[in-house]
Amino acid sequence: MYFQSPYLMYTILAVGILHLNRISPGNKTWQLAETYFWQRAIKLYQAALTSNVTPQNVDSLLSTCMFMGLTALCPENIKPTDSWVLSDKPDAMNWLCLQSGLRCIITLAQSYLDSSIWGSTFQQAHKDEQQFLKRVVPEGREGLDPDLADLCGIDDFTTAKTNPYYEPLRLYTAISELERNWENSAKCAEFMGKLTNEFLALLRRRDPPALLIMAQWMGLMCTLSHWQPWVFGRLVTECTAICMYLENDPDPRISRLLEFPASACGYSSRNVCQRT
């Protein structure tokens, strides 16, 4: 599969060098190699995505997408000011948008999944997801944080079809109630791959209610870093950036809702740590 798909080969090489660069930073040769491999991988992968999904390339496309989505969470020397929330860089939120890529490819490759090396894995994940989603109420605000529900305009008759905040907030509420362990930490991580384009657009506009939902999830992931150490690669910094962006908002509900994520990511601010 690797020899028939150069983009997957370059992606695997890039992942390996990235690992070396993160555990032993400062090696200029490795840094140059990582840049080169990523450049080749992305260019070839973009070209592959313009072609049709077939039984011959479905495994390579899926595998590459998963590798790229994971490594986007492990940047080097990231600072809060690099976040899309605090910068005007057009590509600063690409890491989050990329997490939805797998869902798109799975949709295109649906008819080939049974014969894919990932077929049984995806089938089991789908069964587990359907079982888990049974606990997510499809309407109303029962069980939601009342302040966050108010900020999102959610009432007793709100559904995912009538409110773009509803689905991610309901999903976050459900995963936040899970027991803290390795298996459930993986379920919590899947949250970022389920965000709709409409919600992503709200995040890109730095919409406060959408940012608060993301901050709650990022804070939750910070508490699960024992099982998901990649959290330290990006989420701690991104969570800090959201706290910095919202901390001076005069709405006391926002100040209260920032307390948990700020504490979880280690951000200290008088405006966040004390309610107004």
Is pLDDT at 70 greater than 60 in this prediction? yes
- Integer Cα distance of 158 and 153 in angstroms: 9
Q: List, for residues 202-232, the tens digit of each pLDDT value.
A: 999 999 999 999 999 999 999 999 999 889 9
Q: Is residue 104 part of a domain?
A: yes
Compute the average pLDDT of residues 157-167: 95
pTM of the model: 0.87
Structural domain span for residue 119: 52-266
Written as one letter, the residue type at 184 is N
pLDDT tier at 105 (50, 70, 90 boundaries)?
confident
Query: What is the total count of domains within the chain?
Result: 1
Is residue 33 a part of any domain in this protein?
no
Q: Is residue 19 part of a domain?
A: no
Best CA proximity match to 97, nearest among 238, 205, 194, 210: 194
Please report whether residue 20 resides in a domain.
no
Tell me what percent of the residues of the chain surpass a pLDDT of 70.
96
Determine the average pLDDT of the residues in 233-262: 95
Confidence of residue 16 (pLDDT cuts 50, 70, 90): very high
Which pLDDT belongs to residue 31?
A: 92
Q: Output DSSP code: residue 98.
A: G
Q: Are 264 and 237 in contact (CB under 8 A)?
A: no
- Confirm whether 128 is domain-assigned: yes
Residue 147 falls inside a structural domain = yes
91, part of any domain:
yes
pLDDT for residue 275 is more than 60:
no
**107 closest CA partner among 2, 193, 181:** 193
Give residues with Cβ within 8 angstroms of 130, minimum separation 6: none
Q: What does the DSSP 8-state code read for residue 52?
A: P
| Alpha helices (runs of H) in 137-179, residue ranges in sequence order | 146-151, 166-176
How far is 7 from 169, CA to CA, in rounded Å?
A: 36
Comparing CA positions, the residue from 214, 157, 224, 233 lying closest to residue 186 is 224
Is 132 inside a domain boundary? Answer: yes
